[in-house]
Amino acid sequence: MAVYREQHQFETQGHGHLRDLTSAVSDIVERSGITIGTAHIFNVGSTGAVVTIEYEQGLAQDLPNNLDRLLPPDTNYAHEQAWHDGNGHSHLQATVLGPEVTVPVSEGRPLLGTWQQLAHLECDTKARRRTVVVTVMGE
């Protein structure tokens, strides 16, 4: 079994910014030379999440808006009392969604549905430079 790993770095625009990772991950999978296996996509950091979603404007608004309803930014979290950095909700939102996704690789490409893309959601309160690690395993 072959293993290939590459990092993808990008800038976010702050809380609620959804970025399409599909092309970047597809390019990494192609460079790996692996035609069948899995691709693991992992966000480095505790306030960003990796998801699959239909990447379109409506859902790009709906996802962060509904997370803000579930875990509102203006709640008095214990994290705020300890660190006073205003991002307790950011950590919790990222935890609910998770830092990683694993997708099958078939014919040298991530195997995704027609309306399914890979995306990163910035949960932190400010713009960040993010690193996503893509590990491709297979033959």
Measured distance CA(46)–CA(48) in Å, rounded: 6
Distance, in Å, from the CA atom of 71 to the CA atom of 62, rounded to the nearest integer, reads: 14
The one-letter code for the residue type at 33 is G
pLDDT of res. 81: 87
Per-residue pLDDT of the chain (139 residues; tens, 9 = 90+): 999 999 999 999 999 999 999 999 999 999 999 999 999 999 999 999 999 999 999 999 999 999 999 999 999 999 988 889 999 999 999 999 999 999 999 999 999 999 999 999 999 999 999 999 999 999 9
Token pair of 109 as six digits: 């490409």
pTM for the model: 0.96
> Which among 100, 97, 101, 92 has a CA at the least distance from the CA of 125?
92
**Beta-bridge partners for 119:** 20, 51
